[in-house]
Amino acid sequence: MSASTEFSPLPLLFGKTRRALGWQGFSTEIPENWNPGKFSGTRARGDLRVDDENGVRLELRWENSKKTPDVEKSVANFLQTLEKQAKKRGEAFAIVEDAKVVSRGKKRKDQVTSFGWTGAPGAPTSCGFGAAWFCPTCDRVTFAHVVGHQKDKAAKIERLAGEILGPLECHGEGGWDSWSFYDIQIEIPAEFELARAQMLLNKIEVEWIRPRPVGLYGWGRRPERLKLSRFPVANVLLTDSSLEEWADWNVRDKQKLLRFGDAAPTSVNGHEAVLYRGGPKDPRSIASVWLFDKILRRRTPPGELRVWNCQASNRLWAFENEVAPINLHVASDVLDSLDCH
């Protein structure tokens, strides 16, 4: 056996398997067992909590700021609040001076401020390291915070925070955002707002909506919509029914807004799939779409629903879209961006 003349690179200390996290324009990589827990708000203002099996691991908060904010002062206020709470409980608390989480030169952001604190070693959250900044591109102040659990060493959490928050981007590129949660990754145009997200054991479902345009062009239009659903254990779900039967009962007939017709066979990503087309159920909506299509000499394309069986991942997937005629490409672009296995 001959020894290699060159050293091959070894993984980083915390170089455990990572997966992408993408949410409201933010994107980075997190340890594989971290998943979105609670979330609220919009792209303009909101928060996201990422948990592992023992509780909260990462907190992200963001807010639109028209005027240039004072990030350093906000961070000082945040640490003060934590200190007050710890004192009230009679617990130890210390601010880590000179915390190194995100270096100022590394990020093309304004007022990058790193911070850190340590609490009582036995407390459920023993320490925290984070960074805050203002981004003139997305006009948001971002506040990101990685917390340590009971036996975590502060130095380890400081490094982990650096590995996660250093590469954290706060806006997508080219008008598209990457959305990544659990092992799902999909690209969505930034103008679509998150409307609803359900992350349950038996179903993950996320819907994005782009509001109706204002003015004449918006008359009789419905908002544009994209919706992705995923159901586990396809082989069990399809024990007693075909893909078409299952999709009729569990996806098509559950639709509240659109009335879809019969399934037509198609394929998605090389998988057996069914395609439905349909229009609004609400008679007033039908009349107004018809009327304004005539007046404006346009055609409103039908809504589409695709359901497919990904045998490689043993999951059933559904993708629904309602888009304006000029955006018909969006539906296929989004589908192309999705890797179902």
Give the interface with Zn ion as residue ranges (CB under 5 A). Answer: 135, 137-138, 170-171, 310, 312, 340-341
3-state helix, strand, coil in the chain (%, to 5): 20, 40, 35
Nearer to Zn ion, 289 or 316 (CB): 316
Sign of CA pseudo-dihedral 182, 188, 190, 193: negative
Q: Provide the minimum distance between the beta carbon of 186 and Zn ion in the complex, in angstroms, as a whole number.
A: 13
| d(C-alpha 206, C-alpha 147), whole Å | 27
Choice between 75 and 138, CB closer to Zn ion: 138
- Given a contact cutoff of 8 angstroms between Cβ atoms, the answer to whether 128 and 157 are in contact is yes
Residue listed under structure tokens 């994005």: 208
SS3 for 171?
Answer: coil
Closest approach, Cβ 244 to Zn ion, in A, equals 18
Q: What whole-number distance in Å separates Cα of residue 138 and Cα of residue 110? A: 12
Sign of torsion over alpha carbons 275, 281, 283, 289: negative
- Measured from the CB of residue 334, what is the shortest distance to Zn ion in angstroms? 15
User: What CA–CA distance (Å, rounded) separates 8 from 273?
Assistant: 45
DSSP count for the chain of H helices, then E strands: 6, 19
Nearest CB to Zn ion, comparing residues 73 and 341: 341
Among 186, 195, 180, 227, smallest CA distance to 34 is for 180
For residue 310, the minimal CB distance to Zn ion (Å) is 3
Is the CB of 118 or the CB of 309 nearer to Zn ion?
309
From the CB of 303, what's the least distance to Zn ion, in Å? 23
Output 168 or 258, the one with its CB closest to Zn ion: 168
Sheet holding 176-181, edge to edge: 26-31, 18-23, 176-181, 184-189
- Closer to Zn ion by Cβ: residue 138 or 237: 138
Cβ-based nearer residue to Zn ion, 135 or 161:
135
DSSP 5: S
- Provide the minimum distance between the beta carbon of 313 and Zn ion in the complex, in angstroms, as a whole number: 6
Closest distance of CB 107 from Zn ion, Å: 10
